[in-house]
C-alpha cells in the first residue's frame, strides 16, 4: 500500500487544462490497477494531490440543473468567466482567484475503500484548518462541504466539494474560499441550495487578505495526519 502522495502546486491554471491533466493522471492509475488485476502484477499505484487557483469559471456536476446558473453566455463573457459541464458529483459551483482548489487523485486501495469516509476526511481537513483561525467549521446534514453557523439563519458555506471515483480512484475535490470575490457567487445558486450564503476566510477574519501558502500548508498537514500519508512536493509534469 503506497501512502506517498505527489503534491503539485499548479499556480493559476485554466480549468479545462487542469481537468485534462487530472484525467491523464486518473487514467494512468486506473491502467495500472487493471494491469495488476489482469496479469497478476503487483505494481504500486501512484497518488497525486493537485493544488491550483483557476481563472473565473463555473462548473456543473452530472446531476446538476442548468437553471442554477443565473446568467447566460453573454453575461459570462462580460464577467470574464467560462463554464463547463463536468463528470463529478454535485451541482453548480464557482472557482476563481483567491480560492484554493484541491484535486486529490488517490487510489483508495492504498488507504481505505470507503467514499463516505473519504469525503468526511476531506471535510475534516478543512474543519481543522478553520479551527487554526479560530473558526468553527461544521458539516450540514445532506450538504457535502464545510459550513459556518449551521442550523442558524446565518449559515454560510466556506468550502464546496464534489468528487468522482472509479475502481476506488478519485478525482475532482474541494474548493476553499480564502480571498475569493464573493460577487461571482451571486451569478448562481451555489450547489443548487437556495437561501444559503457563501463566505470566504478573509471576510470571516476581517482581513483584506489571508496568505494562500499559509493556508495550503495547514491543509496539507491535516491531510497527511488524517490519511496517514506523506506528501512529497514535486514539479508539475503536465504538457
Q: Is 54 annotated in some ligand binding site?
A: no
d(CA 129, CA 203) in angstroms, rounded, equals: 16
Q: Is 184 annotated in some ligand binding site?
A: no
Q: Is 84 annotated in some ligand binding site?
A: no
First to last CA, the chain: 29
Q: Is 81 annotated in some ligand binding site?
A: no
Q: Is 98 annotated in some ligand binding site?
A: no
Q: Is 160 annotated in some ligand binding site?
A: yes
- Grid cell locating 160: 464546496
Closest C-alpha to 197, from 148, 139, 129: 148
d(CA 40, CA 116) in angstroms, rounded, equals: 29
Residue with cell 459551483: 93
Continuous H helices in the chain:
15-39, 73-78, 115-131, 201-205, 212-227
Q: Is 95 annotated in some ligand binding site?
A: yes
- Grid cell locating 238: 503536465
d(CA 183, CA 48) in angstroms, rounded, equals: 32
Q: Is 206 annotated in some ligand binding site?
A: no
Q: Is 134 annotated in some ligand binding site?
A: no
Q: Is 93 annotated in some ligand binding site?
A: yes
Task: Indicate which residues carry an active-site annotation.
Answer: 191
Q: Is 58 annotated in some ligand binding site?
A: no
Are 181 and 97 a contacting pair, CB within 8 Å?
Answer: yes
Q: Given its phi and psi angles, is residue 215 left (phi above 0), alpha (psi -120 to 50 degrees) or beta? A: alpha
Q: Is 102 annotated in some ligand binding site?
A: no
Going by the annotation, the residues of the binding site for substrate are: 88-95, 160-162, 173-175
Going by the annotation, the residues of the binding site are: 88-95, 160-162, 173-175
Amino acid at each position: 500500500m503506497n501512502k506517498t502522495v505527489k503534491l503539485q502546486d499548479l499556480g493559476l491554471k485554466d480549468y479545462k487544462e487542469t481537468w485534462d491533466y487530472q484525467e491523464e493522471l486518473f487514467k494512468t492509475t486506473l491502467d495500472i490497477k487493471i494491469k495488476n488485476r489482469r496479469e497478476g502484477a503487483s505494481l504500486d499505484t501512484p497518488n497525486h494531490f493537485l493544488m491550483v487557483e483557476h481563472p473565473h469559471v463555473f462548473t456543473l456536476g452530472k446531476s446538476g440543473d442548468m437553471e442554477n446558473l443565473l446568467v447566460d453566455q453573454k453575461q459570462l463573457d462580460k464577467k470574464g468567466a467560462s463554464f463547463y459541464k463536468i463528470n463529478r458529483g454535485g451541482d453548480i459551483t464557482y472557482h476563481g482567484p483567491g480560492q484554493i482548489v484541491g484535486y486529490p487523485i488517490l487510489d483508495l486501495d492504498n488507504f481505505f475503500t470507503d467514499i463516505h469516509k473519504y469525503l468526511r476526511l476531506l471535510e475534516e481537513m478543512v474543519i481543522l484548518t478553520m479551527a487554526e483561525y479560530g473558526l468553527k467549521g461544521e458539516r450540514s446534514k445532506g450538504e457535502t462541504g464545510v459550513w459556518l453557523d449551521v442550523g442558524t439563519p446565518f449559515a454560510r458555506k466556506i468550502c464546496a466539494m464534489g468528487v468522482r471515483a472509479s475502481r476506488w480512484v478519485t478525482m475532482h475535490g474541494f474548493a476553499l474560499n480564502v480571498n475569493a470575490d464573493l460577487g461571482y457567487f451571486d451569478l448562481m445558486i451555489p450547489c443548487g441550495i437556495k437561501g444559503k450564503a457563501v463566505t470566504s476566510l478573509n471576510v470571516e477574519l476581517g482581513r483584506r487578505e489571508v496568505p494562500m501558502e499559509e493556508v495550503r500548508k495547514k491543509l496539507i498537514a491535516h491531510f497527511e495526519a488524517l490519511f496517514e500519508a506523506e506528501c512529497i512536493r514535486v514539479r508539475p509534469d503536465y504538457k
